[in-house]
Every structure is written in C-alpha cells, then in structure tokens.
Amino acid sequence: MEILTSKSSRELDKISIDKWGIPSILLMENAVFSLLRHFKNLDDILIICGPGNNGGDGLALARHLLNLNKKVRVFIAADTSGKTSDFNTNFKLLECLKVEITLLSEDKNLSDFRKSINECKVLVDCIFGTGLNRNIDGIYLKLINEINNSKAYKISIDIPSGLCSDTGVPLGEAIISDKTITFQSIKKGFINYEALEYIGELIVENIGIPNEIEKEVSESIWMLEEKDVKNLIPKRKRHYHKGKFGRVCVVAGSNRYSGAAYLSTQAAVKAGAGLVYLYTDKMLKPSLDSKLTEAMVGDYESEEFKEIIDKSDVIVFGPGLGNTVETLNKLKLILENFKGKLLIDADGINVLENNLSLLHKCKCKVVMTPHPGEMSRITGKSIRYINENRIELVKKFSKEYNVVLLLKGLYTVISDGNGVCVNPTGNSAMASGGMGDTLSGIIGALMGQGLDVFQATKLGAYLHGYIGEKLSKTMYIVNASNIVENLPLFLKEFVSKDE
C-alpha cells in the first residue's frame, strides 16, 4: 500500500480530475460511500465541517446518514462564502432537505456547539484535510480544544484536524481521535510515533482512483502487506538438503551478554538456516555449546574464526559483543575479507561511530539494523530528529553507504536506497530485551536460504512482528524466546494461509 506525502496526495487528486476527467464531486461521493459502513451501528451523530473539501465530505456524509434515518446535527466553522464548488453543492443539497445547520464564528453559537458535543454520542471531524500547512488559531483552536474535552466517540475523516500530514506533528493543536478513516493511501506523517496519539485506529478506504494514477505520483514508499512478503518465503523442495539452506555464522556474545548470542543463533536455527555456527567469547563457549545443540559453537579468538569467514554464506555480527576496539577489529576483518551477505546489529553498529567510511571499502552486501539510539550514535542526529524524519534519513543513509538499512521501532522503516518499506506488524507486548537479537538471526537465516538482502530484511521484519502479534493474543508479554520457539509453527501457518 502506497504511503504519500501531502504534495503527492494533491497531485493524485489533480491528475484524477484534470487529466483523467474524474469529476471531483464523484470522488467526494465515493469517499462518503466508503465511510457509511463504519456508521452502521452508530447514531446521534454530530458532524463539524471546515471550509474546504474535507468539510464537503462532512456535508455529503450528513446527507447519506440522514437517508439512513440517523440522527445528525451539522456545524460549520465560519460562514459559507468562498467555499469550494463541491462544498457548496453539498451545502445546497442539505438546505433542500431542510437539515439544521449551525454556522459558528468567534462569538456566535459556540455555547450551542459546546452543549451539543457533550450530548452527542459520535463526533465526526471534517474541519481540515491533508492540505493544512499553518498553525491552528482563532475559532479553530477553540473548536479543537472543545472537541478534545468531549467524551463523545471521535472519528476523523482523512486526518485528525490540526495534524501535519507529512510530519505527524500537531500544528499547534490537533484532534485526538478514536478512529481515523483516510482515503486511498496512508499519509506519511501517520508513521511518526507522535501521530499515533491523535490517529487512534487507522482505516484506509479506497475511493476508486485507478492504480495507474497512483503509479504516476508514487514516491516508492510502501506499507508492507502480507501479499508483499508471503511469496518471499523460501521453498523447501523434497530433494533439498541442509546445504541448500545456507551456512550462517553468528558472531556474538561477551562476558556480560551471553543471552544475545544464544537468541540470535537459536533464531537462525529455528528460521530454517541449513547450518548455523556461533563464534563467541571463549569463556561462554562451554555453556552455549551445551544449550545450542543444533548449532556449532566456536571461539572468535581462534584461528578457525578466520577460516569460517570464507566458508560462510551469511555472517550476523554484533549482538552482545560489546562496544570495544576488539569488536571494531573483528568487523574490519570481516568487511575487508568477506564476500557474502553481512548483517550488522547492536555493538557492530556502535563501533561504526566515526568509522562509517569502512562501509565504502567492504566487499559484501550489508544489512544494518539499528534502533533510534544506535542510529543517533552513528549519524550524530538527535533521537527526536530521527523519529520525525525516519523515511528520509533511512533512504539517504542507505543510498550513501550502499547498505540495506532497517530502523527499528513501531512502523519499522527499511530501505535499499531506492524504495522504502514500512513494516506494520508488531506491538508493545514485544517490548522486551533480546527482540533485536532474535530479528537479526531470522534475517540472517532468510539470507542464507537464498533471499537477497532487501527481500530477507522485509520478510524477516514482517514475520518477527507477525509472530509477536499472534502470540500476544494469548500472552500479555511476549519475550524474545517465545518468538524463537514458535518460529517454525507460525512460519508454517503463514505459508499455509489461503492454500
């Protein structure tokens, strides 16, 4: 599913109307028809409309809800002069139906509005759409504050009024909605953490704009869907043996962090890698050797470690290694000699602070999987800046250093420098230690089974979150070990769906 900026959204409408000849009033009617199912079991509805086509949507919605015998009241902020043609068309239709419409201004009917929003059961926000580019003030600021104080169930149409559609940050104030029903595409700002408080449940409705038009305005930013990744899961033909599913070497663990080494390695095993090696601190080798019965465990200070670099198809580097000179030296060794697929995580990323130039010299294909703190460390950008500019930052970094970059978090962002994918799966039940180590092992295993680095990263992120969501239906907290142990089961379920 496409993710669009406000500029692309405007271009989408413009091309639909001017180039393809789709009447704008038809698009408005299509939008309203897509909304009606969400009001099937709702009644006693107040619709507050603004001055543009978002307000026109609200007027058209009122007409259709009245035809369904719903109790509806309509308020319009400011007078009706200077409104769009489609707004005026729907306003006149409501007048013909003798619908009660209340016009609001700074000093007129605000007390009536305040009383009504405290009496209604459902409040529909149609004040501003995605084109808003200035701070909220005047009557609109008063209305938004009154709406946020109301106990009514709040539904925003297209976007919560006051929210910037590109950044997801309130332009002064924004309506805090229980549900947002947006049209045709996800807005770029919706993936910002700050926006989640305002959006509530997000629904995307199709209003009949042809896919060919979407392709014209595409910025190559997509929200991953199940259909995008399901066919990426490696096939396991009857005659295949373990050599067909890759040699994955995990370089992880130190005195303080044995769990990271275990989780990453076991995840690679459970995600289907043919042969898995762990090279770790020699002090940890005996205990991990006894736990990891399906992997081979070695010492990364030994001579055989250099040999395994040449033999491996994939190396997963970094979980629990420690942010040390020794870790940096090991990474340099791999970057200078390894020719396969390399995933760099955790302390493997930390040691690249002030050393990013090493990535320009490597001979392998690289995936990096930082969380915002690690991304801040290696780029020098603040975490706030990173969270507000994730798509641009990830794409730019990926292109500059020729890596696939996965920036962790709710709505994980992944880029190969050309396109950008956003992963919707996962939830806060998974917010516990070791999740990143598990993800690195999963992606490593998928690369070992033949997927390219971008494919493996997209699929790994989606599956990781998908399994967490499934488990959270019966578990309040989902730990990394829960993900690891259930990988084969849910992989099978995922592959078998719809067969």
- Residue 499 pLDDT greater than 60, yes or no: no
Q: Can you state the angle between helices 53-67 and 85-96, rounded to 10 degrees? A: 30
Residues 351 and 478 in one domain: yes
Last residue of a domain, one of 219, 252, 286: 219
Residue 237's pLDDT band (boundaries 50, 70, 90)? confident
Task: Band the pLDDT of 80: cuts 50, 70, 90.
Answer: low
Angle 277-483-249 from CA coordinates, rounded to 5°: 15
Same domain, 252 and 357: yes
Number of domains in the chain: 2
Q: What is the mean pLDDT of the chain?
A: 95
Annotated binding site for AMP: 408-412, 436
Q: In what order do the strands lie in the sheet with 153-157?
A: 101-104, 72-77, 45-49, 122-126, 153-157, 179-183, 201-205
**Is the distance from CB of 436 to CB of 443 less than 8 angstroms?**
no
The strand ranges marked E within 211-337 are: 221-223, 247-251, 275-280, 296-299, 314-317
64 and 13 in a common domain: yes
Give the whole-angstrom CA distance, residue 429 versus residue 461: 16
Output the known binding site for (6S)-NADPHX.
Answer: 53-57, 129-135, 140, 158, 260, 320, 371, 437
* pTM of the entire predicted model: 0.93
Q: Taking 90 as the threshold, does the pLDDT of residue 166 lie above it?
A: yes
Read off the pLDDT of each residue in 260-279 and give the average, rounded to a whole number.
98
According to the model, what pLDDT value does residue 79 have? Answer: 62
| Residues 157, 259 within the same domain | no
User: Is residue 420 a contact partner of residue 223, using CB atoms and an 8 Å limit?
Assistant: no
Binding-site residue ranges for K(+): 54, 125, 161
Q: What is the pLDDT of residue 81?
A: 62
User: Cβ(307)–Cβ(241) under 8 Å?
Assistant: no
Beta strands in 121-212 (DSSP E): 122-126, 153-157, 179-183, 186-187, 201-205
* Whether residues 312 and 376 fall in one domain: yes
Q: How far is CA 313 from CA 271, 361, 414, in A?
A: 15, 19, 22
Q: Which token pair is 430?
A: 């998974």
The confidence score (pLDDT) of residue 84 equals 86
CA distance 148 to 128: 15
Say what the pLDDT of residue 343 is.
99
Domain match, 188 and 270 both? no
Q: CATH number of the domain at 52, please.
A: 3.40.50.10260
271 shares its domain with 186: no
Task: Pick left, alpha or beta for residue 320 (phi over 0 → left; psi -120 to 50 → alpha; otherwise beta).
Answer: left
Q: How much is the average pLDDT of 174-189?
A: 98
Domain interval for residue 382: 226-496
Question: Does 235 lie in the same domain as 179?
Answer: no
Asked whether the predicted pLDDT for residue 82 surpasses 70, the reply is no
Q: Are residues 335 and 467 in the same domain?
A: yes
> For 69, which DSSP code?
T
Which CATH number covers residue 308? 3.40.1190.20
168: pLDDT strictly greater than 80: yes
Give the C-alpha distances (Å, rounded to integers) separating 51 from 34, 80, 128. Answer: 22, 7, 8
pLDDT at 496: 80
Write down which residue in 219, 254, 277 finishes a domain. 219
Per the DSSP assignment, residues forming a β-bridge with 280 are: 299
The tens digit of pLDDT for each residue in 100-135 reads 899 998 677 889 999 999 999 999 999 999 999 999
**209 and 230 part of one domain:** no
Tell me what the mean pLDDT of segment 44-66 comes to: 96
Contact partners, residue 37, CB within 8 Å, separation at least 6: none
pLDDT of residue 83: 80
With a CB cutoff of 8 Å and minimum separation 6, the contacts of 103 are 75, 76, 78, 79, 80, 109
8 A C-beta contact, residue 399 and residue 360: no
343 and 459 assigned to the same domain: yes
Among 163, 190, 219, the domain-final residue is 219
pLDDT in tens, 326-374: 999 999 999 999 999 999 999 999 999 999 999 998 999 999 999 999 9
Annotated binding site: 53-57, 125, 129-135, 140, 158, 161, 260, 320, 371, 408-412, 436-437
Per-residue pLDDT, 108: 76
Same domain (yes/no): 211, 246: no
The confidence score (pLDDT) of residue 495 equals 86
